[in-house]
Amino acid sequence: MSEDKNFSTARLQLPLARSAIDRAGHLRTDSAKMAELWSVARILHFSSGKFRTHESALEFLGTEQVDGLVASGAFDFGDRFFLGLDGSQPYFAWCGDSPDIEQFPNYLTLRELGAMLSDLENGLAVHAQALANWHHKHQRCPQCGGQTVSASGGSVRKCLVDETEHYPRNDPAIIVLIKDDQDRILLGRQKVWPENRFSTFAGFVEPGESFEQCVIREVQEEAGVLASDIHYLGSQPWPFPASLMIAFQAITDNPEDARPDGEEIEEIRWYSRDGMREAIDQNQLLLPPTISVARKMIEAWYGPDHIRDLKGGQAWR
């Protein structure tokens, strides 16, 4: 197996970073146009954290089907979000919830679906979930406490009292693959994870902090080593609930000082490629899920021609 110590960003095929939709933001403020597009839209249904599916793909509804589900009492009226255009075909998300969602087996989470969706479906689903999460948590105006309502196709919430407009926010977070001069990688284990689950290091960017500064701080805090030679690898939305993961690789010159912080990280391990394969074969290592940035960074380091060695990886908290 060849060892590529400088894998390129092109090799990071990040599942949730794929999209093939024109968001057509210039149409959002035209309420008449939004109503026109809704009448002929293909509509995905996001309910209680899950998407309506058919044979492991998103199932798209028409407006009459949505009206029927609401009229039946199975789902509430919910919100409608404009997601964009594919050519002339409009797409919307309908976020009508149900207290009995577990009775509908054809609803799956994005974590379960993400790796199986087409580029079009992926772009729609990530956008829809991110918007739905944000709207759900911003029912009140942060300035005056008044009630807010969805506006501009779901891209804004407007206060009914002081008329201020509020926009969705992403929480930037770095994730980093740490290597030493022997091309081993360092993985850590959080206390809340399943047994033998290890992953790369990550953390939220603090106010006034650059991505690179965050990489250095998080790695030193969680693993006790100094990161240098930091290189950007890619980014992926992570709407669980509202993160944007910015991926890096870095080198450490003091691997012998690696140690867990004992709070968030309870154990750390250095892995060579042979060591990783052996640990997986002996059921001593469970890698991150296949839709995660961490998994794709590990696969790129390991070598694309040998990914089949990295079995499993669907355990969630």
Which tens digits make up the pLDDT trace of 87-141? Answer: 999 999 999 999 888 888 899 999 988 888 999 999 999 999 999 999 999 999 9
pLDDT at 316: 53
Q: Do 302 and 196 sit in the same domain of this protein?
A: yes
Alpha-carbon span 8 to 215, nearest angstrom: 19
How far are the Cα atoms of 158, 164, 185 from residue 137, in angstroms, in the given order?
A: 14, 17, 38
Q: Do 108 and 128 sit in the same domain of this protein?
A: yes
Q: Do 95 and 121 sit in the same domain of this protein?
A: yes
Structural domain of 96: 17-137
pLDDT at 56: 82
**217 inside domain:** yes
Q: Do 177 and 280 sit in the same domain of this protein?
A: yes
pLDDT at 2: 38
pLDDT at 313: 60
74 vs 187, residue with greater confidence: 187
State the residue for tokens 């689950």. 197
How far are the Cα atoms of 42, 58, 184, 262, 276 from residue 247, in angstroms, in the given order?
A: 33, 28, 18, 24, 21
Three-state secondary-structure class, residue 294: helix
Q: Do 202 and 164 sit in the same domain of this protein?
A: no
Tally of domains within the chain: 3
Between 48-52, 257-261, 305-309, the lowest mean confidence (pLDDT) is in: 305-309
Q: Do 191 and 303 sit in the same domain of this protein?
A: yes
Contact indicator for 61, 45 with CB cutoff of 8 Å: yes
Alpha-carbon span 58 to 121, nearest angstrom: 7
**192 inside domain:** yes
Q: Do 305 and 177 sit in the same domain of this protein?
A: yes
Please give the backbone phi and psi of residue 207, each rounded to the nearest 5 degrees, phi first.
-55, 135
Torsion angle of C-alpha atoms 158, 164, 165, 168, degrees rounded to 10: -100
Whether the per-residue pLDDT at 162 is higher than 90: the answer is yes
Q: Do 296 and 179 sit in the same domain of this protein?
A: yes
State the residue for tokens 């740490």. 178
Give tens-digit pLDDT for 43-66.
999 999 999 999 889 999 999 999
**24 inside domain:** yes
Q: Do 184 and 254 sit in the same domain of this protein?
A: yes
Task: Quote the tokens at residue 228.
Answer: 């240098």
Q: Do 151 and 196 sit in the same domain of this protein?
A: no
pLDDT at 311: 83
Query: Last residue of some domain: 118, 137, 156?
Result: 137
Three-state secondary-structure class, residue 76: coil
Q: Do 90 and 200 sit in the same domain of this protein?
A: no
pLDDT at 156: 98
Q: Do 180 and 298 sit in the same domain of this protein?
A: yes
